[in-house]
């Protein structure tokens, strides 16, 4: 009998141990503060959409159907990575900053468990960068710089009289900086800009992320988690846009586009170097790299073993075609179609993942090997959580 595949053993172990994310106490943090794009937005974007005209796709069914039973502004059928992280730390889902209104009417009570500043479509870089290079940003953009301005506005309202209160709030929070930067490349690559030019964006994107981390540390952040980019060559949208008859363009084991995944790895390599640089400057701050790339690559390499019988590359909800992705017919708008069971699919709508996939990614971060330093060393309570069901790769 052949030896067990390490990937298969890992998948089976997580499946057995974590059929449900019903975590026990792991209260290392009192709140979560989040920045980013649609991977983390829990409902800010709908507050920014025009009151007239066609509603945004993420405010329409079938978005939200799996867990919430209605759209919430999340770009998935259910929960996101940030939601599973919140559940792990026994915190409520992180409230979108704009639920206090467009003017940010907040108070210390309504956001005592944290606040989410992430927005669908957000970029790390500001609009002027893209304007100068002829890149169209299709949505109302709230860049990472703008999100930090929101955060400072937020702080001035929840602790207007003393900065020490804010410092305590931030010190005991898990601060999620991203995923951010993906849209800086999406808008350009899917808008026809050549790879070589878009590759030149990467140092600018990473520098902005580094500056944001430094600003947050100066404001009092002690524990920050910074995700890298996903393997975009496996995205249904990219597979559709860059469809090729040349089989050498694709990875044999996954069917993903090689050069796009190399691009994502280039971003991640520069980001890890930037994080190492900041760690040296701030040795008493914990900066965790979240390896989204390899966490989700497990699913692309062996979707069936992870329970994704519908496959990893085709979208559950989309407008048809080889990957059920039509860049002019988005999920939520007719005549798009939706699969019967999203839990059998990795990809949700061409660009985003299903709740089931986000759950696996979250488990890989919380219980698995996809954080550096390991999250369990930052929060030892993770080791004994999940009602004693430990994560033991075999």
Rounded distance between C-alpha atoms, residue 243 and residue 355, angstroms: 26
First to last CA, the chain: 17
- Of the listed 37, 113, 184, 349, which one is catalytic? 349
DSSP, residue by residue, 116-184? E---TT--SS-HHHHHHTT----S----HHHHHHHHHHHHHHHSSS-HHHHHHHHHTEEEEE-S-SHHH
- Of the listed 143, 336, 352, 376, which one is catalytic? 352
Rounded distance between C-alpha atoms, residue 33 and residue 285, angstroms: 16
CB atoms within 10 A of CB 6: 10
Pairing of strands 311-315, 114-116: unpaired
70 is catalytic: no
256 closest CA partner among 320, 212, 311: 311
- Of the listed 18, 34, 38, 302, which one is catalytic? 38
282 is catalytic: no
HSE-up (13 A, CA, CB side) for residue 45: 28
Q: Which residues of 330-346 are buried (b: 16+ CB within 10 A; e: fewer)?
A: bbbeeebebbeebbbbb
Length reported for the chain:
394
306 is catalytic: no
Catalytic residues: 38, 349, 352
């Amino acid at each position: 009998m052949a030896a067990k595949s390490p990937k298969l053993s890992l998948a089976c172990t997580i499946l057995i141990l974590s059929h449900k994310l019903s975590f026990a106490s792991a209260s290392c943090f009192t709140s979560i503060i989040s920045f980013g794009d649609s991977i983390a937005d829990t409902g800010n974007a709908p507050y920014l959409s025009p009151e007239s005209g066609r509603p945004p796709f993420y405010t329409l069914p079938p978005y939200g159907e799996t867990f919430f039973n209605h759209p919430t502004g999340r770009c998935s059928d259910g929960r996101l990575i940030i939601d599973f992280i919140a559940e792990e730390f026994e915190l409520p889902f992180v409230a979108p900053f704009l639920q206090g209104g467009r003017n940010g009417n907040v108070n210390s009570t309504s956001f005592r468990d944290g606040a989410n500043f992430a927005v669908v479509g957000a970029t790390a870089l500001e609009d002027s960068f893209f304007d100068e290079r002829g890149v169209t940003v299709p949505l109302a953009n709230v860049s990472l710089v703008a999100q930090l301005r929101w955060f400072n506005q937020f702080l001035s309202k929840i602790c207007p009289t003393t900065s020490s209160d804010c410092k305590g709030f931030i010190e005991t929070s898990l601060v999620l900086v991203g995923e951010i930067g993906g849209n800086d490349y999406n808008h350009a690559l899917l808008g026809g800009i050549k790879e070589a030019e878009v590759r030149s964006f990467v140092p600018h994107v990473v520098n902005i992320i580094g500056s944001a981390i430094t600003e947050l540390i100066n404001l009092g952040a002690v524990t920050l988690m910074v995700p890298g980019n996903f393997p975009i060559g496996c995205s249904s949208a990219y597979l559709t846009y860059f469809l090729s008859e040349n089989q050498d363009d694709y990875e044999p084991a996954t069917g993903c586009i090689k050069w796009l995944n190399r691009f994502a790895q280039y971003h991640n390599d520069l980001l890890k170097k930037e994080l190492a640089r900041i760690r040296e400057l701030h040795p008493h701050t914990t900066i965790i790299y979240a390896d989204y790339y390899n966490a989700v690559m497990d699913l692309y390499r062996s979707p069936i073993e992870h329970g994704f019988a519908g496959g990893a590359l085709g979208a559950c909800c989309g407008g048809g075609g080889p990957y059920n992705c039509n860049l002019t017919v988005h999920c939520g708008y007719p005549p798009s179609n939706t699969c019967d069971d999203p839990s059998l699919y990795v990809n949700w709508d061409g660009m985003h993942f299903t709740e089931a996939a986000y759950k696996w990614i979250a488990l890989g971060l919380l219980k698995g090997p996809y954080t550096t330093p390991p999250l369990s060393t930052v929060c030892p309570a993770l080791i004994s959580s999940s009602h004693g069901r430990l994560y033991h790769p075999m």
